Structure 1
Amino acid sequence: MKVATFINGSIISENSSFYAIKYAKKLNLKVYAIYIKEKISTDEVKKSYENIKLYADNLSVKIDFIILEDIYQLKSFIEKENIVQIFTSTKHKHTIFESSFAKSLLKKDLKSDIAIVKIVKIGDIKNIDKIILPIREDKLSVKKFTFFMTFALTHSAKAQIYSIDKVTRNFLAFLDENQKSKKVKNIIFNLGHYFNLAKLMKYELSIKHDFTMMEEIEKVNAHIAKYGFDLAIVGGHHKESFFNRHPIDILFTLPIINTIYFIPYKEKYYEAF
């Protein structure tokens, strides 16, 4: 098994690659830095790769530079090399209407999980003290949890699962403390197997739950800012709708910290990219 990271000579693709290398280091996997030919000078991309390779060498991670003529060569390369995780960057402020390389990747039905990285703060790449995983109620897949915990363990970071219930104003008005407490206990019970796994890894995992109204779309970012998280891992396979938005959706369009959208193979909806 191997990891791939896409580079194009930009600073954000370099920083996305640093995440890929740290991930590969934890799992003892080789990395391919892949450049798909564009109008950008190949020399410029090679210079960027030297920075990436230096980082990989310092962590004793094996890395190779691969140039592909076009995106159509990608699918066979990924299957041939058994690449199980792809990292690619996209613009910080990217709307659902814009085309992007990340969106084109998702359309290719590649047999690999994809991590789409939005870099907000370049200085926060290598040092992560606190990491957060926002989820909808108790919806958490094994793949998403594994990806999240790999980053938490890699950086020896404090980790929090942040569960959010989207509710109406009327529902919230009649919600008492006993009902809130019961809801939190149910979520913890339903996620109990993940907390047991964390204990087996001798890792302390925390959980926070909030009831949030549709109008409070900024509440997730407010929570992230208040508690000083450095990285957010978000399940990126949702379909955002203007008529049925969820507070987590703000992380797809206006993240305030570096954010990785983890999209498992077979769960690839790309409307947010």
Structure 2
Amino acid sequence: MRVVSLVNGSLLSEAASVYAISYAKSIELPLTFLFVDNGLESIEKFQSSLATLEEIAEASGLSFEAVILKGDVIEQLKHFAQLYSIDTLFCATRKQSNTHSFSEKIVRSGIETAIAVVKVKNVSQVRSFHRVLLAAGEKINPHCYLLWIALISANQARGKLYLQNSRTVKKASSKSGLKYQAAPYVQLAGMLKQQVEVVQVLQPINPSLMESYLIENDMDLVVYNADSYSRKTLNQVTDQSCINSILFYPWKA
């Protein structure tokens, strides 16, 4: 089992790979920096990015490798996933959503792995983040939770678990609401010596309100469980935000 980060030589893919380094280090898995030469990307830029990433990985004491494949990116990714067990594939996306973006093609490709799509708005916060929010939706996905708690652990950051409850205010309580469901996850975080707080909201996620909440709470990174929100909602929220985000797509067997 390994973590894979797709690197193409761009600053955004380099930044996304830094998150992959933190995650792989925390869960003690090797990391593969993967470049697919499809004739459109610059191998010189990739090698420049790789030198930077290797320096960071070596300083972290992380086991890593660089792999270069040639051909169609989606086909090569699928082939690589068939040959090796991949825990999570990290890839960068543009600051503003585009239905024809390469990350969208990867998500829709059916590749046999979880996918972490990284949208970087502030490069300076990639290597130093102290407050991380998990927007879990109504249900906590275990793999998405693992990504979140691993990033918190790797940087000794503080975590907030943001849960949306569709119940009415009258029915919602600490026992019937999502805080009760989240209790085992909070206890697990405590066992790992990580500080987390559960935030329960009753209204659907709103781009403007979400951005205000993130700024007021001085968040550096948000992990969204992409299974819990529509693509339109996620695009609106992350496009309007000035905060770095990771859209996590759990693998569906």
Shift of 1:21: 0.9
User: Which SS does the other structure have where 1:237 is aligned?
Assistant: helix
Question: Residue in 1 aligned with 2:101?
Answer: 100
Letter in 2 for 1:201: L
SS in 1 for 2:202: strand
Secondary structure at the aligned position of 2:203 is classed as strand
Structure 2: how far apart are the matches of 1:17 and 1:40? 17
When structure 1 is superposed on structure 2, of 63-72 and 204-213 the one drifting more is 204-213
Aligned to 1:191: 182
TM-score (norm 2): 0.89
1:260 maps onto 2:246 in alignment:
yes
Give 1:133 deviation, angstroms: 1.0
Equivalent residue of 2:14, what SS?
helix
Please say if 1:231 is aligned against 2:221: yes
Q: Deviation at 1:117? A: 0.1
Shift of residue 237 of structure 1? 2.5
Q: 8 Å contact 1:132–1:232 — kept in the other structure? A: yes
Q: Could you say what secondary structure the match of 2:223 adopts?
A: strand
C-alpha distance in 2 between matches for 1:67 and 1:262 = 25
Give 5+ residue unaligned stretches, structure 1. Answer: 268-273
Contact kept, 8 Å, 1:113 with 1:264, in 2: the verdict is yes
Counterpart of 1:74, as a letter, is L
**Residue 90 and residue 222 in structure 1: after superposition, are their counterparts in 2 closer, same or farther (change >3 A)?**
same
Q: What SS does the aligned partner of 1:163 have?
A: strand
Check conservation: 1:68, 1:74, Cα contact below 8 A: no
Separation (CA, whole Å) in 2 of partners of 1:132 and 1:180: 26
CA offset digits 1:50-93 (Å, max 9, x no partner): 11111111112222222221221222212322222110000011
Percent identity of paired positions between Structure 1 and Structure 2: 20
Secondary structure of 1:159's counterpart equals strand
Gaps (5+ residues) in structure 2? Answer: none
C-alpha contact (below 8 Å) 1:218/1:250 kept by paired residues: no
Q: 1:220 aligns with which of 210, 214, 225?
A: 210
Whether 1:119 aligns to 2:120 is: yes
1:60 corresponds to:
61
Distance 1:139 1:146 in 2: 14
Distance 1:51 1:208, change over 3 A: same
Aligned to 2:150: 150
Distance of 1:30 and 1:181 partners within structure 2: 43
* Contact 1:184–1:209 (CA under 8 A) maintained in structure 2: no
SS of the counterpart of 2:216? helix
CA distance in 2, matches of 1:78, 1:55: 25
Question: Is the radius of gyration larger for structure 1 or structure 2?
Answer: 1
Are the structure 2 counterparts of residues 221 and 183 from structure 1 closer, same or farther at C-alpha, using a change threshold of 3 Å? farther
Secondary structure in structure 1 of the residue aligned to 2:87: strand
| Alignment partner of 1:110 is 2:111 | yes
Q: 1:213 Cα deviation (Å)?
A: 6.4
Asked whether the 8 Å contact 1:132–1:161 carries over to 2, the reply is yes
Task: For residues 187-207 of structure 1, give each alpha carbon's deviation from its aligned partner in whole angstroms, at most 9, with x where no partner exists.
Answer: 211222212212222333211
TM (normalized to structure 1)? 0.83
The aligned residue for residue 29 of structure 2 is: 29
C-alpha distance in structure 2 between counterparts of 1:36 and 1:241, whole Å: 26
Alignment of 1:125-140 (within 5 A): 125-136=126-137, 138-140=138-140
